[in-house]
Amino acid sequence: MLSWKENRTPVSEEFDDIYFSPENGLSETEHVFVEGNGLRERWKNPEGKRFFSVLELGFGTGLNFFATWKEYAERNRDFELHYVSIEKFPIKKEEIEKAIAAFPQLGPFLAEFVVFYGDLLPGINRFTFSEGKVRFSLFYADAGDALDEISGTFDAIYLDGFAPSKNPDMWDESLMRKLAPLSRNGTTFATFTVARIVRDSLTSAGFTLEKKPGYGRKREMLTGFFSASDEPSASAERQPSPKKKPWCGRNFHRTKTHNAAIVGAGIAGTALAYSLAQRGISVVLLDPNGLAAGASGIPGAISHPHPTKFPSPTSLFTLRAFGYAVRFLSGFASSEQFSPIGLFHGTTEEMDSERLRSSIRTHSLPEGIAFWSETGVPGADPALVSLSKKGIFYPKGFWTQPRSIARKASGQNGIRFLQKKAVTVSPRGNGWELSLSESEETILADSVIFCNSYSLNDLLLPILGEEFLPIRKVRGQLILLEETPTSSAIRNILCAEHYLTPSIEGKHILGSTFDEFDLNPNPRKEDTDRLLSYVREKYPEMNWSAQNVLSEIVGFRAQTPDRFPVIGPVFDPERFRDAYSGIDLPKNRFKTYPSLKTIPGLYVFGGLGSRGIIGSFLGAEILASLILDEPAPVEFSLLEALHPGRFLYRKIRKFSETEKRSSETD
């Protein structure tokens, strides 16, 4: 809860403390955090840095972020600004506007910010501003929990919690120690307080401290830097049973990426090409079938989050990805390519009322993301009785034209598309060489990313000597139905066992079937009949028949056994087994083992299944952050769940459990 002093200074009722100085909050921020971290001087000579990263504890009104953004923008930096802020009690958009309105010089930044701010989910919420130059992540969580989940390191740290006397937990030694893994040699910090608890906590965490003149009535403030060896110690390389899987550590940046080759030009490959090109990376995009020629080439796709009854990696990823996709596409796509018209998911035998309602409650979803409706589709035509059933409404559920978006994404500066097939990928110097079919041309790249759907293993097999990932091909069929006078009344996307779109250019899309076994590439009458039977039973007022079918379309998805994407680096499976076999056996509980050494410059991005649209845009940001060693836009636990190593680890664990049972019976 917020209250306001007469001079419009905001006050936290939770901690009975002001958010910023009543004298001049902006001047205070510039003195304590911008100058305290030496940003102006450091940004004069960025030493070829591709990005500068800031970690903030205590977002508050956003004043520190806006002031840093303003400082960055005024100096027309060639590098990007990455800003991660932690806030346990985020305030409303209207309260931020009211607080920052006191500083007119921040108006342009506030105006861009409020367009996208809102509908926050617990965890990391990623935003992009200034045409991709400013990447902002708001971590909605307790600071201690958030610091455990942040993946990446930072150049500067803002410690701006409420005063230690009001909020001592924010300054506790155990919390400050969590800053050490997020810092590198020379990482600076600044804070407004010189309280003894703060000095002791930061010293114990490895920071060297210096008192400096404070702002206004504060006599002193605290600054300093982190001292650490650039080379990992032996103890860091070999750890006993860490909580975080050792192969998920970000220890694969042995070469700098200036250019990349992406194999596969579906929505995932083109989204990644866009993300890398935005960061100044030169990209060659390869696909013998053209842009978005596979499953990404369907005439329209629908998207919504998939919250499970209780939080799981799948539900958390789709929620993060959905929020980011809506924000990204709202600024990127035209109204012909993307429309957040709302999506209603009715109850089904599998997804009953209790399960759907629990998913909203357990994920703490704001109404802007999802809400329960007892009366069916909100605002639906009363004549359409079939739309009056219970379910979840996603106000920003959307449809897209994937092929059109893929074309726009791949048409950015720095991206070269070749409609050619990569035949081989071979080591060449510190990078990789790709030979192309029917061409004497070869492509040299620092990094190669495999985004080629269910063919993902093809080029990796000769390199690794075995199949890397359990990716399988899944068939789907949808049909296009002509618009009728009755069906024109449908305003939202309708979901249950299948989905139905409103009329898009005079056509409704009804989809989709799912078949792992019959991979016939041609339309099947039984599938069309099944879809028509569904729509007639579910929405009888529409009175559709076979005569209303305009076309039938078949596509193939790439799916993993756990129906979760794979995003991350490639490793040698044999070395993986050598390093980690038996690590979960009781007899090995004190065994130490190395962090996994990945194959430099090789990455995979696939297995998106039926959630390719919402997964592609955030997935591209995740992989770009891993390739370029940026702070990740999702939690470490999600990176671990997405990691390609999970399948081989499960095989190893299964073998270990069998060995354990065998030893117990001997």
Neighbours of 210 (CB within 10 A): 12
Residue type at position 270: T
| Nearest to 359, CA basis, from 305, 308, 319 | 308
What does DSSP say about strands 220-226 and 183-191: parallel, antiparallel, or unpaired?
Answer: antiparallel
pLDDT (0 to 100) of residue 243? 64
Kindly state the percentage of the chain with pLDDT values over 70: 89
Report CA Rg, the chain. 26
Q: What backbone torsions phi and psi does residue 501 show, to the nearest 5 degrees?
A: -95, 160
pLDDT (0 to 100) of residue 260? 97
User: What is the tally of helices (H) and strands (E) in the chain?
Assistant: 19, 33
Neighbours of 59 (CB within 10 A): 25
Exposure string over 489-522, b if 16+ CB within 10 A, otherwise e? bbbbbbbbebbbbbbbeebbbbbbbebeeeeeee
Exposure string over 260-281, b if 16+ CB within 10 A, otherwise e? bbbbbbbbbbbbbbbbbbbbeb
CATH code of the region 474-559: 3.30.9.10
CB 246 within 8 A of CB 596: yes
Cα dihedral: 13, 16, 19, 23 (round 10): 130
- Bridge partners of 303, per DSSP, are 398
CB 501 within 8 A of CB 302: yes
Cα separation, 496 vs 301, whole angstroms: 15
| Nearest to 91, CA basis, from 53, 129, 63, 55 | 63
Cα separation, 508 vs 24, whole angstroms: 57
Cβ-proximal residues to 627 (8 Å cutoff; 6+ apart), any chain: 257, 260, 276, 447, 449, 603
- Segments in the chain below pLDDT 70: 1-23, 76, 229-243, 251-254, 295, 584-593, 654-666
Residue type at position 373: S
- Give burial (CB, 10 Å; 0-12/13-18/19+) of 130: middle
Residue type at position 524: R
Domain 2-226 has CATH 2.10.109.10: no
Residue the block writes with tokens 């200074």: 9
pLDDT (0 to 100) of residue 17? 55
Assign 116 to helix, strand or coil.
Answer: helix
Report in angstroms the alpha-carbon separations of 238 from 64, 247, 546, 594: 39, 11, 64, 5
Query: What CATH superfamily classification does 259-293+404-471+562-664 receive?
Result: FAD/NAD(P)-binding domain (3.50.50.60)
Q: Establish whether domains 2-226 and 474-559 are of one fold.
A: no
Q: What backbone torsions phi and psi does residue 283 show, to the nearest 5 degrees?
A: -125, 135
- Bridge partners of 657, per DSSP, are none
pLDDT (0 to 100) of residue 77? 72
pLDDT (0 to 100) of residue 247? 77
All structural domains of the chain with their residue ranges:
2-226, 259-293+404-471+562-664, 302-400, 474-559
Q: Is the pTM of this model over 0.85?
A: yes
Cα separation, 662 vs 648, whole angstroms: 21
- Where do runs of H (alpha helix) occur along 500-556? 525-538
pLDDT (0 to 100) of residue 590? 64
